[in-house]
Structure 1
Amino acid sequence: MDDTSMLAHIHELVAEEKALRAAHHGLVGDDRRRLEAIELELDQCWDLLRQRRARSEYGEDPDGAEERSVNEVEGYLQ
């Protein structure tokens, strides 16, 4: 997936996240689980996009970037 496709996917996820949040004041059940899945997927997508951009900046092939596991991405110190 190239950067443009990845950004489009990120925008789709953000739109779905906003729709879920706007439709409910308190999410429960399947909607809550979907929102949590979206948040995790967004973190992975942003991480992969940052990797791709860093590789490009340093003259490396951006396609060499690899998606990291949810546990790894969520474990980063901010």
Structure 2
Amino acid sequence: MAEADDRILHRITEMAHEERELRDALSAGRVGGDEEHSRLGRLERELDQCWDLLRQRRARMEFGQNPDDAQVRSASVVEHYQS
């Protein structure tokens, strides 16, 4: 696996951990302000973008293309994808 893929996966792991902690804190009532809800939304969008970038890189590698040509797509584009 490419070093860039490792960095992307590391970032995904960090954000997923933060997302879980924030969701736990919200559900336990330890936090609950607009700022926390906004942060959760940003995390979800950034995670979607990271997963999309990783999928692009892997697809490019599979088809003999340069994975470094993959680019982060906007959150609005990525969030409208169907799984």
Q: TM-score, normalized by length of structure 1? A: 0.92
Structure 1 residues 9-47: Cα deviation after superposition (integer angstroms, max 9, x where no partner): 000000000110111226431110000000000000000
User: Which runs of no fewer than 5 residues in structure 1 stay unpaired?
Assistant: none
CA distance in 1, matches of 2:52, 2:26: 28
CA distance in 1, matches of 2:64, 2:18: 35
Number of residue pairs matched?
Answer: 78
Where in structure 1 do 4 or more consecutive aligned residues deviate above 2 Å? none
User: Which runs of no fewer than 5 residues in structure 2 stay unpaired?
Assistant: none
Q: Does 1:5 align with 2:7?
A: yes
CA offset at residue 75 of structure 1? 1.4
Q: Which amino acid aligns with 2:12?
A: I
* Structure 2 counterparts to residues 1-78 of structure 1, below 5 A: 2-25=4-27, 27-78=32-83
CA distance in 2, matches of 1:58, 1:46: 18
Q: Please give the root-mean-square deviation of Cα atoms over the aligned residues, in Å.
A: 1.4
CA distance in 2, matches of 1:28, 1:57: 44
Q: Once the two structures are aligned, what percentage of the paired residues are identical?
A: 49
